Structure 1
Amino acid sequence: MSTAFLLTTLVVVLTPGTGVVYTLAAGLSHGRRASVVAAFGCTLGTVPHALATVTGLAALLHTSAVAFEVVRYLGVAYLLYMAWSTLRDKRALVVGDDGAAADGPPPASRVILSGVLLNLLNPKLTMFFVAFLPQFVPAGDPGSVAAMLRLSAVFTGMTFVVFVAYGMCAAAVRGHVLGRPRVMAGIRRVFAASFVGLGAKLAVA
């Protein structure tokens, strides 16, 4: 495992994207546990892309414009849905006497599913793995498949750790903003705008 791979992976996972925005939103809205669950869901959504790359399925998206466009616009549609849901969901603005959201956090299964779909419907992740992994595997190496699986596992693990760190930071400041409806409403609009922006970026990719 080269230092170059580890540093490159760290830079990539630290760069804010869809998963980071979703994890931050979960941490701010529902606390530490929800942020960890969201981080897990987003990380889980990267696994199919890595497996597609290793097994050669990524070639379909790389060579078929139709397949790429279908997945891309499904991703755009889901990001816009997340923006709408973020604006519509008012639970985090209803605070109980103990400072927690009155209706409680959403089910873990729903948080995980949303996180998985956010990354699963992003064909750029598959393209990233196609361009990224082969750089760190010697050409003609008979153990290239095993090597790419190991690299993918490290990438996935680092993604989860970084996302959890982002979520914990968001959860740490949650108490300072949760009881302020105007602040929370503003934050909600920022996250919704972020999802719209990410959707637009994916649409024109």
Structure 2
Amino acid sequence: MFALTPEFLLTSLIMVVTPGTGALYTIAAGLARGTRASVVAAVGCTLGVVPHMLAAITGLAALLHTSAMAFQILKYAGVAYLLYMAVTTFRDKGSLTVEQESTPPSAGKVIVSGVLINLLNPKLTLFFFAFLPQFVDPGASYALAHMVVLSLVFMLLTFVVFAAYGRFAAAMRGQVISRPKVLTWMRQIFAGAFAALGAKLAFL
């Protein structure tokens, strides 16, 4: 029977802990609307891993790996969405604000945004394609089940780490929310970070 190896857990943890678009989105949600919003954002980002997992398991990842056009289409869709997030964050004065009457986005909208952020990340597809098979015996009868379990563990790590990022950001919210200039600065930093990540993805 298969087992989780320390190598798999360590590599997965490094992959998840390294700050990226999902972590940034969760931190922004925690700073803007507190712990509950950050957890919802973490759920959305975690669900965004599912299509990549299914792609790796069904073989779509192999197509993306061998088809330059398919990879480029997915990559630039991700770039476009990141730039959209950058513009929206920069212009949306209600995402980080001290005004209590500002209407926060619904949980559904937060989850959809989180899903799209990870859904349109071709690096995750390539990660699942290149990484997971190294820990699965292709000749074993339980190979498919093993890949599913490893993928679920990766998703669990994603949720736990992102939720921790968001919880920390929410804990710092009280130190930030009473300073309007800091809020403006934070919003600009997040917008710039989304734009930078989009540019980095575009030139991969």
TM-score range, shorter chain: over 0.9
| Partner residue, 2:67 | 64
**What secondary structure, in the 3-state scheme, does the structure 1 residue paired with 2:141 have?**
coil
| Partner residue, 1:189 | 188
| Aligned residue pairs, count | 201
Asked if 1:24 corresponds to 2:23, the answer is no
- Deviation string 1:129-182 (CA, Å, 9 cap, x unpaired) is 111101111242222111000000000011000000000000000011112111
| Partner residue, 2:105 | 106
CA distance in 1, matches of 2:197, 2:9: 26
1:15 aligned residue (13, 18, 42)? 18
CA distance in 1, matches of 2:95, 2:62: 42
- For normalisation by structure 2, the TM-score amounts to 0.95
Match of 1:7, as an amino acid?
Answer: L
| Partner residue, 1:203 | 202
Indicate if the aligned counterparts of 1:92 and 1:178 stay in contact, CA closer than 8 A. no
| Partner residue, 1:91 | 94
Gaps of 5+ in 2: none
Asked if 1:145 corresponds to 2:148, the answer is no
Percent identical pairs in the alignment equals 62
Indicate if the aligned counterparts of 1:5 and 1:136 stay in contact, CA closer than 8 A. yes
State the Cα distance separating 1:60 from its structure 2 match.
1.5
- Deviation string 1:72-109 (CA, Å, 9 cap, x unpaired) is 1110000000001111111145424xxxx421421001
CA distance in 1, matches of 2:28, 2:122: 23
Gaps of 5+ in 1: none
Indicate if the aligned counterparts of 1:83 and 1:191 stay in contact, CA closer than 8 A. yes
Structure 1 stretches of at least 4 aligned residues deviating more than 6 Å after TM superposition? none
| Partner residue, 1:163 | 162
Indicate if the aligned counterparts of 1:137 and 1:144 stay in contact, CA closer than 8 A. yes
Asked if 1:74 corresponds to 2:99, the answer is no
| Partner residue, 2:121 | 122
Match of 1:115, as an amino acid?
Answer: G
Match of 2:39, as an amino acid?
Answer: V
- For normalisation by structure 1, the TM-score amounts to 0.95
